[in-house]
Structure 1
């Protein structure tokens, strides 16, 4: 769903990315939206699992270390970004575990 939001709310998300000093914020939002959409779709359909996991892991780690920089914020703003940073790391771990599942899985469209 978030990949879809990157395309429907591009300007809003690009504004936030710009506030975090992300280079070429609009292009970055569109590229990251494609990564989220294609990675999620690949996992749901059970196709190109390694590529799908890689796209999502790259996005999550890039977002964690460039957007959710809690260590550089004033104390009253740290908590939310720290939670989002930790969430991204947890999701990264969960995605890496998918690589250990036997594929194709039960309802996979892999051929």
Structure 2
């Protein structure tokens, strides 16, 4: 079962680590997109959220301060779902479907983050 735990953590964390580095590699474009989506303070939050998801992803990957890392990911995922993926306000059906997929992906991953917090908690009982 340890291999399942390890592979699961690798697969889960890869998205966040890669995306986090993308926040810095594509900083200008991400800030422009955040501005277009009317996100608050994109110049501050794009790099800040990049740091959050890199640290959260690494925490999950290495099973180091897992609860803290999962909280960082949760605190990233829920606001981003509602701020950046407002599918209900998109007129184009294709773009709306794309935003809806991202919205529910974020909420699903937020749920998985809560499950990680729970598993970390019960493992210490």
Corresponding position of 1:62: 79
1:29 matches 2:10: no
Shift of residue 75 of structure 1? 4.3
Alignment of 1:1-111 (within 5 A): 1-76=18-93, 77-102=95-120
Once residues 113 and 41 of structure 2 are traced to their aligned partners in structure 1, the CA distance between those partners, rounded to angstroms, is 27
Once residues 76 and 31 of structure 2 are traced to their aligned partners in structure 1, the CA distance between those partners, rounded to angstroms, is 15
Once residues 102 and 71 of structure 1 are traced to their aligned partners in structure 2, the CA distance between those partners, rounded to angstroms, is 35
TM-score (norm 2): 0.78
TM-score (norm 1): 0.87
CA deviation string 1:38-73 (max 9, x = no partner): 000111111111111111001000110100001111
CA deviation string 1:7-43 (max 9, x = no partner): 1110011110010011221211000100110000111
Which one has a larger percent helix, Structure 1 or Structure 2? 2
Once residues 94 and 23 of structure 1 are traced to their aligned partners in structure 2, the CA distance between those partners, rounded to angstroms, is 26
List structure 1 runs of 4+ shifted beyond 6 angstroms.
none
Shift of residue 97 of structure 1? 1.0
**Unpaired segments of 5 or more residues in structure 2?**
1-17
